[in-house]
Structure 1
Amino acid sequence: MAPPSSLVFKVHRHAPELIAPAKPTPHEFKPLSDIDDQEGLRFQIPVIQFYRCDPAMRGRDPAKVIREALSRALVFYYPFAGRLREGPARKLAVECTGEGIMFIEADADVTLEQFGDDLQPPFPCLEELVFNAPGSDGVLDCPLLLVQVTRLKCGGFIFALRLNHTMSDAPGLVQFMNAVGEMAHGERAPSIRPVWQRELLSARDPPRVTCIHSEYDEVPDTKNTIIPLDDMTHCSFFFGASEIAALRRLAPPHLRSCSTFEILTACLWRCRTIAIQPDPEEDVRIICIVNARGKFDPPIPNGYYGNAFAFPVAISGAGKLCQNPMGYALELVKKAKNDVTGEYMKSLADLMVLKGRPHFTVVRTYLVSDVTRAGFGDVDFGWGKAAYGGPAKGGVGAIPGVASFYIPFKSKQGENGIVVPICLPAPAMERFVAELDSMLKSPPGDNTAKTSTFFITSSL
């Protein structure tokens, strides 16, 4: 059997169609929040779910089941069936037209087994599994969701979805997908009713920036440090309990109770900076996506499916980051994450209005997004939980090498952990691997730790 990275197969697609809500829905304009419509979210983000054959569902067509469930779910989530319009000051609003989302039914001459035991990005023939139908990939005046259901030869199927990110974040999207799953199971209404209320994350009147938001600084690329797009290599790194424990041993005692996210982010930031070899005098940045739903008083209501996160940034001189021990990076990451409060989010919305909805800076920046708790893998359309559920690509946005997801993963040995896809030029990837392996080795005097990191490499 060919390794997954070289797997090639054919997909036969039916003509794309629009799936409208099953019942009439209001025709109205719904403004997005001032967190939703920032420049850094104006792109399409793909998600992919792999489902095994279930003998109990024999005779049921997943494309038909999901098509009907989508139509019924859109009665409750009818803004998804509309189109984005841009008004004065680049303000985005959904015109709830009821036109529908784009749906593609397909068949592939491949089995789930041929994708290999370790389902993780990058997936072969991804462009065939989430097809870019003509007229579907814009931000304005285009379908806000595209769904492709691809039946496999083994009786399993692949559910691929592409979302206009201005509409929802990961928790909001999973909420909608679970609603579709509930409709597929015959429920009349979703168990969690959708909440729009985007005004909760809109700018104050008058807007006033009360916090520091260095992630939106205008940073000139003075020494051409944007990573080149040629000769890129993709590696996926697994971090189980032993790897996380090894990293914790590198932290000073007062920081060893930090979260897995914090220690892993500090490690990757330091390793990646060493790998790309920036000028030691230049600043490097790491952005940690932080869910802010619980940061408000009162909290954002259950059922809210808009974007409710921030991009706090930690900044360091490249030389200081590379030469200092792990505790230095860890302190910076913890502080950046803790900066996010309800006031921070209000200040951020105000900044968007005052500064024209800027993009966060990507110059000498690395961004990480933790989707281990988002629940993609739990979405059930009737065939059980997904064999893999989550990001379809290893990076966030349209710029390779700038960002990575933290994805929940179970190894061949049954160990639960996190897989992190990384994309770097080939020489930098070699340096990254060497530095990470060095960090994961036992500290002096401790012979109990062992390195069990694995990585799967494939050219992009």
Structure 2
Amino acid sequence: LNHPKLSLCPSLIMTIAFAVRWRDPELVGPARKTPRETKRLSDIEDQAGLRWHVPFVLFYRGRGGDAGADAGDPAAAVRRALGEALVPYYPLAGRLREVEGRKLVVDCTGEGVFVEADADVRLAEVEAAGLTPPFPCMDQLLFDVEGSGGVLNCPLLLVQVTRLRCGGFVFALRLNHTMCDAVGIVQFMSAVGELARGLPAPTVAPAWSRETLDARSPPRPSFPHHEYDPVPPTPFPPPGDMVMRTFTFSPADVAAIKKGLPVQRGGKKATTFEALAALIWRARTAALEIPAGEDARLVVAAGVRGVRDLGLPAGYYGNACACTCRRCPPPGPCGASR
């Protein structure tokens, strides 16, 4: 695996510069022997919208003093805990294959990728520059190891631990989305954390059970699924005219937004999710100047773990979401969904 040994992050919002030194990437597999087998993903995990890698980054403070103090080596602790966690979660150390009908399966080969690095910066300096997305040095804290970025026949999991000068560290992870949704990856990361802290086993035992979410044969949809309708081309502005910003809504902001909403039938009040989703949806529709007569869509991924009839077991870490779609013509408030 070829990679540069040293890279400079020139700025975080033009206020800080630091160097990152990587050690050679290594394959970290399960700490003990696991089954060498092929496991099918669920039918909902075959969809094209999940075939990409999701990055995460978490920042941790040190226990005080410099990195060489008695705080221990976070990279070594995470590497050990990762190997232990991959024993019950061994499919995450596999490779994704495609079989007949574009069906996805996991070849459980027992290989994950781990990167260890050091950054010449303190967490306080990074915090002062801002930790909200878009984070301009993400490629330094989660190195794109050559041969790891594909969806098929590539590592499903990439982990990098970067030690900071203050004794803190950065834990960054990239995961193939076909394997887990947000709840599933948090469950796995929690297992790594528990094992790193010395627990003998994760408090939640993982469950595969992907067949639970397979389609009926033959499929019997009971209503139109507009979330999968073709989307007409959107007249996006040129890339140079687009910027990314992070907005934080405080409790006071949310209260002000809700205050301006009409009272719903029966006196029901909008939830925080409904209020913010409607606000962002309307703002986006107005900004894109979607022509009258065309639908403005809002698609939301809704978790189904709480649906009793599905019978998903505790510890299920696969994708357990269904997309819901709301459509209305701009402008003006939305009426009934069509």
* Aligned counterparts of 1:234 and 1:18: Cα–Cα separation in 2: 34
Q: CA deviation at 1:216?
A: 0.5
* Aligned counterparts of 1:25 and 1:309: Cα–Cα separation in 2: 28
Select between 44-53 and 248-257 the one with higher mean Cα deviation.
248-257
1:162-190: CA deviation from partner (whole Å, max 9, x where unpaired): 00000000000000001001111112211
Residue of 291, 297, 303 corresponding to 1:291: 303
Residue of 273, 276, 282 corresponding to 1:270: 282
Is 1:36 matched with 2:45? yes
Q: CA 1:52 to 1:203, structure 2 compared with 1: closer, same or farther past 3 Å?
A: same
Alignment of 1:269-348 (within 5 A): 269-297=281-309, 299-319=311-331, 324=332, 328-329=333-334
* Aligned counterparts of 1:22 and 1:130: Cα–Cα separation in 2: 23
Q: Which residue of structure 1 lines up, in the alignment, with residue 114 of structure 2?
A: 103
1:359-396: CA deviation from partner (whole Å, max 9, x where unpaired): xxxxxxxxxxxxxxxxxxxxxxxxxxxxxxxxxxxxxx
Contact 2:114 2:158 in 1 (8 A): yes
Given residue 118 of structure 2, which amino acid in structure 1 is its aligned partner? Answer: D
* Aligned counterparts of 1:152 and 1:69: Cα–Cα separation in 2: 20
* Aligned counterparts of 1:281 and 1:62: Cα–Cα separation in 2: 56
Q: CA deviation at 1:298?
A: 5.1
Q: CA deviation at 1:296?
A: 3.6
Q: Which residue of structure 2 lines up, in the alignment, with residue 130 of structure 1?
A: 142
Question: Where in structure 2 are there 5+ consecutive unaligned residues?
Answer: 1-9
* Aligned counterparts of 1:227 and 1:72: Cα–Cα separation in 2: 48
1:183-213: CA deviation from partner (whole Å, max 9, x where unpaired): 1111221110000000011111222222321
Is 1:5 matched with 2:17? no
Q: Which residue of structure 2 lines up, in the alignment, with residue 19 of structure 1?
A: 28
Q: Which residue of structure 2 lines up, in the alignment, with residue 115 of structure 1?
A: 126
Is 1:238 matched with 2:248? yes
Residue of 225, 228, 233 corresponding to 1:216: 228
Contact 1:4 1:116 in 2 (8 A): no
1:71-117: CA deviation from partner (whole Å, max 9, x where unpaired): 0000010001111110011000001111x211000011111111235
Residue of 77, 83, 92 corresponding to 1:71: 83
Is 1:143 matched with 2:155? yes
Query: TM-score, length-normalised on structure 1?
Result: 0.67
Is 1:251 matched with 2:282? no
* Aligned counterparts of 2:314 and 2:36: Cα–Cα separation in 1: 25
1:197-232: CA deviation from partner (whole Å, max 9, x where unpaired): 0001111122222232101112332xx524543332
Q: CA deviation at 1:13?
A: 0.5
Q: CA deviation at 1:299?
A: 4.3
* Aligned counterparts of 1:296 and 1:228: Cα–Cα separation in 2: 46
Contact 2:60 2:168 in 1 (8 A): yes
* Aligned counterparts of 2:144 and 2:135: Cα–Cα separation in 1: 16
* Aligned counterparts of 1:71 and 1:303: Cα–Cα separation in 2: 19
Q: CA 1:85 to 1:3, structure 2 compared with 1: closer, same or farther past 3 Å?
A: closer
* Aligned counterparts of 1:146 and 1:70: Cα–Cα separation in 2: 11
Contact 1:281 1:318 in 2 (8 A): yes
Q: CA 1:58 to 1:228, structure 2 compared with 1: closer, same or farther past 3 Å?
A: farther
Query: TM-score, length-normalised on structure 2?
Result: 0.90
List, as ranges, runs of 4+ consecutive aligned residues in structure 1 with deviation greater than 6 Å. Answer: none
Alignment of 1:190-229 (within 5 A): 190-221=202-233, 224-229=234-239
- Structure 2 residue matching 1:289: 3-state secondary structure: strand
* Aligned counterparts of 1:225 and 1:234: Cα–Cα separation in 2: 18
1:13-46: CA deviation from partner (whole Å, max 9, x where unpaired): 0111100100000011110001112100000110
* Aligned counterparts of 1:8 and 1:256: Cα–Cα separation in 2: 51
Given residue 8 of structure 1, which amino acid in structure 2 is its aligned partner? Answer: A
Indicate the RMSD between aligned Cα atoms, in angstroms.
Answer: 2.0
Contact 2:133 2:245 in 1 (8 A): no
Q: Which residue of structure 2 lines up, in the alignment, with residue 46 of structure 1?
A: 55
* Aligned counterparts of 2:255 and 2:300: Cα–Cα separation in 1: 21
Structure with more contact order per residue of length (Cα contacts < 8 Å, sep ≥ 6):
1
Q: Which residue of structure 1 lines up, in the alignment, with residue 6 of structure 2?
A: none
Q: CA deviation at 1:256?
A: 5.4
* Aligned counterparts of 2:193 and 2:50: Cα–Cα separation in 1: 26
Q: CA 1:95 to 1:8, structure 2 compared with 1: closer, same or farther past 3 Å?
A: same
Given residue 36 of structure 1, which amino acid in structure 2 is its aligned partner? Answer: E
Contact 1:4 1:114 in 2 (8 A): no
Contact 1:3 1:116 in 2 (8 A): no
Q: CA 1:196 to 1:227, structure 2 compared with 1: closer, same or farther past 3 Å?
A: farther
1:117-138: CA deviation from partner (whole Å, max 9, x where unpaired): 5532111311111111000010
* Aligned counterparts of 1:299 and 1:107: Cα–Cα separation in 2: 45
Aligned length: 322
